[in-house]
Amino acid sequence: MEKTVVLYPGVGVGHLVPMVEVAKLFLKHGLAVTVVLIDPQVESTDFSAAVARARASNPSVAFHVLPPPPADSNPDGAPTHPVIQIFRLLKSMNAPLLDFLRSLPSVDALVLDMFCVDAQDVAAELKLPVYYFYASAAADLALFFNLPSKLAGSKVKELGDSIITFPGVPPLKASDLPEVTHNDEVLKAISGMFDRMPDANGILINSFESLETRAVRALKDGLCVPGRATPPVYCIGPLVSGGGDKEHECLRWLDAQPDQSVVFLSFGSMGTFSGKQLEEIATGLEKSGERFLWVVRSPRNPDYKYGDSLPEPDLDALMPEGFLERTKDRGLVIKSWAPQVEVLRHRATGAFMTHCGWNSTLEGITAGLPLLCWPLYAEQKVNKVHIVEGMKLGVEMRGYNEKVVKAEEVEEKKSNCATTAPLPPSRSRGRPGGNPSCRPPAPPLRPLLPRPASPSGEAWQAWVAAGSTLPLLADPQPVRDGCRRRHLAMAGPGGTATGAPGGGRSSSRWGLGWCGSCHGGVCVGAVQRGSGGGSGSRWRGPRAAWPAAGVWLRAPDGCGWVFPLRSCGSSPRATAVPVAPHIRVLRRRRRSHLTAG
């Protein structure tokens, strides 16, 4: 009998979508999966639509809707912060959740969203193993685990722009902490949430270690939870959904645009702007003279409460007079929703203006796009710091802290994106169905639990998919099928291997080789020059004419990137020479990363 895992994503589209991706991973490992949902009527129409899409595209996943919560979940009737409302709602669902779990023939584990901490009591009553799925960045988890001890009684709003450091996290200003930490009641509730998470059997994170090496290491080394043991941490990302509406009008519009020419603006399922801010964005887009695809949602009214539905936006009323007509040849405005993953992977999309929600961040990174960061709420300002200062994959929009980003800032950033050098032409290919106009989907990265089931090199493949950087070049897994651990063999003059099995040195400039037959064909060869600096040596792999050493990476579908390399004496290293301004190669000086063995 197959084992059954129950997933409980709590509330919000941003929590449901990645949890459904977790369900798919469990299915691939032969487990039966049930996703338990709060009654969609309690949520917004966006949530109901997301549930409908998830059910339609995942028939092998069972979905169960709990009955509506009691009407007196806020008995005193006093206005409360939306986060407190969420905690109260989820706590009120413990009884129906318990009844449902008892009705199942068997349950082998319960996976909770981070906000569902009170459901840990249900798991304890049923003596079930409980895991948390953390849908945001590992660095955010490290920060929140450490935040209470770091504050030591101080109030966040009194710290201003003081610099705060957390284990595994780039230094950030106190003002970049989520606004919810400025509210004492909310901070107490959130601190209580993170105080309970270490009691779980493990934490699954929607990230991958080569993206957040420092944060993951800090978590695994127990540096983030003072005085307590940290449960096992498993990086299972990037969980990027797909399979959206492939016939959406915006994709047909993108098919007619030049490569790398369109900036995509989208701010998440809860991201809204005032009418004044929408006018500023529109003015900036028009003045830039560049192409754009913009998803617009209706502004919230002053009486908006969490879960309220927003009406369809009236674009004629929200946009400056004549804007839609004047920009119709180079811009498209979409109401409320677009198939984001498909848009980001389209060959015409050249940059992504985002609210820095973690789902959107991963979707942008795995599409290989530079990010224009405009954080709005929750942990998004912290994510902005990771993206801009830590990962170096984006720039921030000036003025977001003043609540209004001026048209000039939108114009400047968009125009700068338009001048970014394009990726190599081989980067693009058709989207499913035969249209030769979209980037490929990212290749599969790693299975669910911590050690890869095959020697695929999670760190390597992840960044090949992203087209962003060349990180750790060592695959820690033993190599099978006769590869003899030659997946990082060095190509010397004439295509011969100069890296000795014991890690011997060579004075020649080095390239990198990858055994395609054993590693899925991710990289097929390496270019290098002899130590005398000649005009180039023969090499194994595709032909290319580069004036210096380089690595040519090819996915099975034929997409490719070229990363220049240079050597330092006899010690090879990857260098920070960019192929395009938004593609960076990390410095790696440790010779062990570049030796055959």
**Does residue 113 register a pLDDT over 80?**
yes
* Residue 434 falls in which region: left (phi positive, over 0), alpha (psi -120 to 50) or beta: left
Q: Please give the Cα distance from 496 to 400 (Å, whole number).
A: 54
| Residue 152 confidence (pLDDT) | 82
Instruction: Give yes or no for residue 89 having a pLDDT over 70.
Output: yes
Bridge partners (DSSP) of residue 395 are 372
Give the mean model confidence (pLDDT) for residues 12-16. 83
**Taking 70 as the threshold, does the pLDDT of residue 458 lie above it?**
no
Burial of residue 303, with CB atoms counted within 10 A of its CB: 0-12 exposed, 13-18 middle, 19 or more buried: exposed
Structure tokens at 563: 């990363």
Give residue-wise pLDDT tens across range 519-572. 322 232 333 333 333 333 333 333 333 223 333 333 333 333 333 333 223 333
Percent of the chain with pLDDT over 70: 64
Spatial separation of the C-alpha atoms in residues 75 and 85, rounded to whole Å: 12
Encoded amino acid at 85, one letter: Q
Cα–Cα distance for residue pair 31/67, rounded to 1 Å: 26
Q: Cα 18 from chain centroid?
A: 10
Q: Tell me: pLDDT of 413 over 60.
A: yes
pLDDT at 306: 59
The SS3 assignment for 172 reads strand
Specify the pLDDT at position 173.
93
pLDDT at 266 over 60: yes
Give the DSSP H or E segment for 97. Answer: helix 94-103
For CA atoms 426, 292, 385, 445, give the dihedral sign: negative
DSSP symbols for 17-80: HHHHHHHHHHHHTT-EEEEEE--GGGS-HHHHHHHHHHHHH-TTSEEEEPPPPPTTSSTT----
pTM of the model: 0.69
- Least confident piece of the model among 15-29, 141-155, 377-391, 491-505: 491-505
Whether the predicted pLDDT of 582 surpasses 90: no
Contact residues for 322 (Cβ-Cβ < 8 A; gap 6+) = none
Look up residue 387 and give its DSSP letter. I
Burial-class residue 508 by CB neighbours within 10 Å (0-12, 13-18, 19+): buried
Across the range 287-315, mean pLDDT stands at 84
Is the pLDDT score of 579 beyond 60?
no
Residue 374 has pLDDT above 60, yes or no: yes
Q: How confident is the model at residue 244 (pLDDT cuts 50, 70, 90)?
A: low
* More confident of the two residues 400 and 354: 354
Instruction: Give me the pLDDT at residue 243, please.
Output: 62
Q: So what's the pLDDT on residue 270?
A: 83
Q: Mean pLDDT lowest for which of 126-130, 136-140, 178-182, 248-252?
A: 178-182
Taking the C-alpha atoms of residue 493 and residue 270, their distance in angstroms, rounded to an integer, is: 56
Long-range contacts of 321-325 (CB under 8 A, 24+ apart): 323/282, 323/286
CB 513 within 8 A of CB 486: yes
Q: What is the mean pLDDT of residues 81-95?
A: 91
Say whether pLDDT at 508 is over 60: no
Q: How far apart are CA 513 and CA 111, in angstroms?
A: 40
User: Quick one: pLDDT at residue 71?
Assistant: 66
Q: What is the pLDDT of residues 133-151, one digit of tens each?
A: 999 999 999 999 999 999 8
pLDDT grade for 2, boundaries at 50, 70 and 90? confident
Percent of the chain with pLDDT over 90: 47
Six-digit token pair at 121? 């009591």
Domains of the chain: residue spans and CATH: 4-235 (3.40.50.2000), 249-437 (3.40.50.2000), 459-597 (no CATH)
pLDDT at 591: 28
Highest mean pLDDT out of 78-87, 317-326, 375-384, 460-469: 317-326
Burial class (CB in 10 A: 0-12, 13-18, 19+), 45: middle
List pLDDT tens digits, range 66-87: 988 766 555 555 567 888 988 9
Q: Is the pLDDT at 398 greater than 70, yes or no?
A: yes
- The whole-number pLDDT of residue 56 equals 86
Q: State the pLDDT confidence band at 497, using cuts at 50, 70 and 90.
A: very low
pLDDT at 378: 87
Q: How far apart are CA 461 and CA 592, in angstroms?
A: 19
CB-CB neighbours of 187 under 10 Å = 20
Report residue 73 CA to chain centroid gap: 34
| Residue reference for tokens 């059910």 | 55
Q: What is the mean pLDDT of residues 362-382?
A: 93
Q: What residues have CB less than 8 Å from 121, skipping those under 6 apart?
A: 94
Is the sign of the CA dihedral 116, 120, 122, 127 positive or negative?
positive
Higher pLDDT, 446 or 153: 153
Report the pLDDT averaged over residues 307-319. 86
pLDDT, one tens digit per residue, over 336-360 is 999 999 999 999 999 999 999 999 9
Instruction: Please list the alpha-helical segments (H only) found in 314-395.
Output: 315-318, 323-326, 340-344, 358-366, 380-385
Whether 333 shows a pLDDT value over 90: the answer reads: yes
What is the rounded CA–CA span in Å between residue 455 and residue 459? 11
pLDDT of amino acid 338: 93
Residue of 527 and 247 predicted with greater confidence: 247
What pLDDT was estimated at residue 355? 96
Average pLDDT of the chain? 72
Q: What is the pLDDT of residue 196?
A: 96
Paired sense of beta strands 202-205 and 4-8, if any: unpaired
Instruction: Report whether pLDDT(391) > 50.
Output: yes
Q: Which residue shows structure tokens 């990857």?
A: 574
